[in-house]
Amino acid sequence: MNKHIKSILCVITVICLIISVFTFNVSAASASISGTGEYEVGKSFSVTIRFNADATLYAVEADVSYNSSVLRLNSVSGADYNVGNGSVKIVDDGFSATNPSKTSSYTLNFTAIAAGNSNISVSLLGGGEAESRASASAAVTVVTPKPSSNANLASIKLSSGSLSPAFNANTTNYSATVKYSVDSITITGAVVDGGATYTGGGTFGLNIGDNSRVLTVTAADGTKKSYTINIKRMTEQETLDAEQAARDANPLLVVINNVDYTIVNDFTNITIPAGFTQGTATRKDTEIAVLNDDNGEYQLYWLTDAAGENGAFYICDENDKFTRINCIRANGKLYIIEELDSNIIPATYVVANRTIDGEKVEVYAYLDDALKDFYVVKCYVDGARAYYRFDSVEGTMQRAAEFDLAVKNANTIPLDEEQDTGKFAWFTNMNTTGKAVFMIIVLVAIILIVVAILFIVKITSAKNDDFEEEFIPMANNDFILNDFADEAFEEAGSEVAEQPEQDAQEADNEGETDEQKD
């Protein structure tokens, strides 16, 4: 008997030694589940499973079970997973030597689908420096929702007018004002809780003056709440006064020649020209978007018509008067057309009206019909003023440098200066250079006339034979006028002085002859 006992003990000892050699190390671990409790049918909630081991983990597997007739699993975060019928297997191999950890956690999102109870159970196995095992369980109770006591409205809408103050579920008294032309109104409400209902909405006629309506909300559990709306229908005069007051207070409304325009307060969809930056200007105590010229010459507003179309740039003066600027968009720039220096018109040009950007403007047009599609405009661009030639067919702009030169050297009469229209208008309306040339021509003509008269006198004189011989060479020698004229007048004077003496001598001689005869 003792021999048998000794043999059995030896076998057991050998087995224990073998087991001790081949058995893995086992580490202590724990698990927990949070987020469980009581939920109503239709509610979603999350449950978090946490695993804590004493040894470093390399991988974790978790098997989770639940009552699929009470709960529906929506998702799992923290690891890969596979869903079965009422179960989910989680496989987490996201550990590494560079990211060692002894803990892991996983979140499961459920929706309560039916009243009842469900245990959420988990069994975890961690592999690493030592094998770790742990399990946990928690209960979830799903109940039928109690009737809601929520008797709030989510919104109140009017077919005309607007609520004052703005709607708030906790505010139960409102007012609204409508024009005289509104003789009926439709009121629509919406409840917050789907189990609640309301009464008092619909379409109603309106009397001039105050009209009161009450919307009553009944919650699912019978709780009631009322919202009162006082609607005032204005008289015709009150409507006119209110409309005018609203127009006067509207900072974006501009009236030009009895036509309404709207200031666009956002340049998001508008190309900002080179040389301009977006800024703001104050109008009727409101900040309005504008474009400011980098050199401070222009501040531009963008206005559209009442339909929000036909936008254009405008400027505004200190009297709040808006004026559309004439401009050309070309070459990626904005050329602002300014008034011409129309007091002077260079040769080969004429001031004419042309349509640019939908507006008629004065331009310098060519007299040559072959250049009728081209005209010159004075522009402000790139912070400077200059003349540009516009190709109305191609829509392009080119600097007209030669036109600048022509303007500076022009000798025409200012258009805004009154011109003489009398007998000598041809002379008084002549420019300075023209007058000087005319006076020189007249002076030369007078000198030629004098020379011609003297020439005629000399050649017709029979008493002075030497006069012709001296005069003709001088006349043929480019008419040396000054010296010749002086000599001519001196000789003529001496002849006049000598003639009486000659006559007296001849008379004396005749007397002596008569005496001798006697």
Residue with tokens 């459920």: 110
* Owning domain of residue 392: 333-408
Its pTM stands at 0.46
- The residue out of 304, 324, 344 marking a domain boundary is 324
pLDDT in tens, 338-362: 988 766 677 788 888 888 877 888 8
Tell me the residue type at 128: G
| In contact, 107 and 83? CB cutoff 8 Å | no
**Co-location of 113 and 184 in the same domain:** no
The secondary structure element, H or E, covering residue 481 is helix 481-517
**Co-location of 137 and 45 in the same domain:** yes
**Co-location of 109 and 37 in the same domain:** yes
Residue 415 domain flag:
no
| In contact, 440 and 433? CB cutoff 8 Å | no
**Co-location of 225 and 169 in the same domain:** yes
Q: Is the peptide bond before 100 cis (omega within 30 degrees of 0)?
A: no
Residues present in the chain in total:
518
Report CA-CA distances (Å) from 456 to 130, 445, 447, 449, 475.
149, 17, 14, 11, 12
Between CA 118 and CA 262 the distance in angstroms is: 65
Between CA 305 and CA 259 the distance in angstroms is: 8
Between CA 415 and CA 425 the distance in angstroms is: 15
Residue 20 domain flag:
no
Indicate the angle between helix axes 465-476 and 481-517, nearest 10 degrees.
170
- The residue out of 85, 111, 143 marking a domain boundary is 143
The secondary structure element, H or E, covering residue 31 is strand 29-34
Residue with tokens 């057309």: 337
Q: In the chain, what is the greatest distance between 2 CA atoms, to the nearest angstrom?
A: 236
Residue 503 domain flag:
no
Between CA 278 and CA 280 the distance in angstroms is: 7
**Co-location of 49 and 138 in the same domain:** yes
Between CA 515 and CA 508 the distance in angstroms is: 11
Q: Which residues contact 486 (CB under 8 A, 6 or more apart)?
A: none
Residue 475 domain flag:
yes
**Co-location of 384 and 319 in the same domain:** no
Residue 19 domain flag:
no
Closest to 485 measured CA to CA, from 460, 445, 457, 443:
457
Tell me the residue type at 169: A
Residue 462 domain flag:
yes
- The residue out of 374, 408, 442 marking a domain boundary is 408
**Co-location of 175 and 89 in the same domain:** no
Q: How many domains does the chain have?
A: 5
| In contact, 305 and 257? CB cutoff 8 Å | no
Between CA 171 and CA 166 the distance in angstroms is: 9
> In CATH, what number is assigned to the domain containing residue 209?
2.60.40
pLDDT value at residue 131: 87
Residue with tokens 């007058």: 435
pLDDT in tens, 424-474: 555 555 556 666 777 888 888 888 888 888 888 777 765 555 544 554 455
pLDDT average per 10 residues of sequence, the chain (518 residues) = 53 46 60 93 95 90 95 94 94 81 93 95 88 93 92 96 95 97 96 95 96 96 96 96 93 94 92 91 94 93 92 93 91 88 75 84 88 91 90 88 72 44 53 70 87 80 53 48 47 48 52 47
**Co-location of 108 and 198 in the same domain:** no
Residue 118 domain flag:
yes
**Co-location of 172 and 222 in the same domain:** yes
**Co-location of 57 and 87 in the same domain:** yes
**Co-location of 34 and 127 in the same domain:** yes
**Co-location of 81 and 138 in the same domain:** yes
| Residue spans of beta strands (DSSP E) within 236-393 | 253-256, 259-263, 276-283, 286-293, 299-305, 312-316, 322-324, 326-330, 333-338, 349-356, 359-366, 374-381, 384-391
| In contact, 124 and 135? CB cutoff 8 Å | yes
> In CATH, what number is assigned to the domain containing residue 139?
2.60.40.680
Residue 373 domain flag:
yes
